[in-house]
Amino acid sequence: MTTPVVAMKGITRTFGSRSVLRGVDWQIDSGEVIGLLGRNGAGKSTLIECMLGLREMDPGTVMLFGEPAGDLSEAARARIGYVPQKSDLFDWLTPDQLLAYFRTLYPRWNEHKVEHLLGRWGFDAQARRQRIADLSGGQQQRLSIIRALAPEPDLLVLDEPVASLDPVGRRDFLRELVDDVIERGTTVLFSTHILSDLERIAVDVAFLKEGRIALQAPLDDLLESTRRVTGDPDALATLRLDQELGRVRHQDGAFSIVARLTPQESARLHAAPGVRIDPVSLEDLFEEVTR
Ligand SMILES: Nc1ncnc2c1ncn2[C@@H]1O[C@H](COP(=O)(O)OP(=O)(O)OP(=O)(O)O)[C@@H](O)[C@H]1O
């Protein structure tokens, strides 16, 4: 049996009276590429920070590459790349100084990739010698991504990595992620609110809701099996489906259920009079699962 890259058990985190994580059990295996979704304030950043041993937890344990996250060996630490939501760059340095510093910390550091990305992402000679504090938010985010990719990590964790990037920067970053990072078999966890980005990468999606992973599945399977069933409120009110994600009574009196349908359920509902079955988008799914 191979050791999971991430193994979390009973992760709990409370801020004052607010319980943000409520006993998360989660495992991420080698080579998985997972998009982490959840409403604002659902606890995605908190979960990621607990996962990487950057935040104290209430009860709970996290193992990374089989080692306790809070007491990682240098070797295990060097296998992780992290792009935080808020820049943690040493902003009194220049990009060249920052990258030179990090180069000394990692046994593996792909200088060719660094130069290539710096060139492609608009770091000319002047920008490379400018204080990071004086770079734009998007440039800082690009630099943070370059720093995380340079050591060719086995686990790459990205917390809303494209939030400050312009559309060209986003597309370019996604291309890099798909063509190089994922292609190499890297395990990737990334949180985003840009659902179309997830659809480009074709990954598993995990939904964080009420302090737990409420649902995780390959995105393609999820979209293929999930349907919105609309019909007569009285008939649908008593309908029970195996994997129901949500039910809504609309203002116009219509009633709909969003559920993952088995082939049998699908056949049964298609044959039922007055029932409509429609595909759902990832946005619909997000709304239902995180409602
Ligand atoms: N240091 C802290 N002290 C008090 N509350 C905190 C602290 N850090 C996070 N929280 C609270 O925990 C909740 C989850 O925050 P978190 O940043 O993890 O959510 P998120 O899912 O990443 O949100 P977003 O999508 O908006 O980035 C929020 O209600 C936040 O206010």
Mean pLDDT of 202-230: 92
Mean pLDDT of 260-266: 90
What is the value of pTM for the model shown?
0.92
Identify the architecture of domain 6-210 in CATH.
Answer: 3-Layer(aba) Sandwich (3.40)
Which ligand 1 atom minimizes the distance to the CA of 47? 18
Nearest residue (by CA) to ligand 1, atom 25, is 40
Per-residue pLDDT for 158 more than 90?
A: yes
* 195-232: b (≥16 Cβ within 10 Å) or e: bebbbebebbbbbbbebbbbbbbebeebbebbbbbbbe
How far apart (Å, rounded) are the C-alpha atoms in residues 161 and 145?
8
Which ligand 1 atom minimizes the distance to the CA of 48? 18
Predicted pLDDT at 223? 92
For residue 145, with 0-12 CB atoms within 10 Å meaning exposed, 13-18 middle and 19 or more buried, which class applies?
buried
Nearest residue (by CA) to ligand 1, atom 8, is 46
Nearest residue (by CA) to ligand 1, atom 5, is 15
Which ligand 1 atom minimizes the distance to the CA of 193? 25
The set of protein residues with a Cβ atom below 6 angstroms from ligand 1 is 15, 20, 38, 40-46, 85
Nearest residue (by CA) to ligand 1, atom 2, is 15
Window from 9-18, 44-53, 76-85, 172-181 with minimum mean pLDDT? 172-181
Determine the distance separating the centroid of ligand 1 and the alpha carbon of 144, expressed in angstroms.
21
Question: Is the predicted ipTM greater than 0.90, yes or no?
Answer: yes
Amino acid occupying residue 237: A
How far apart (Å, rounded) are the C-alpha atoms in residues 128 and 124?
6
Per the listing, tokens 């997830």 go with: 198
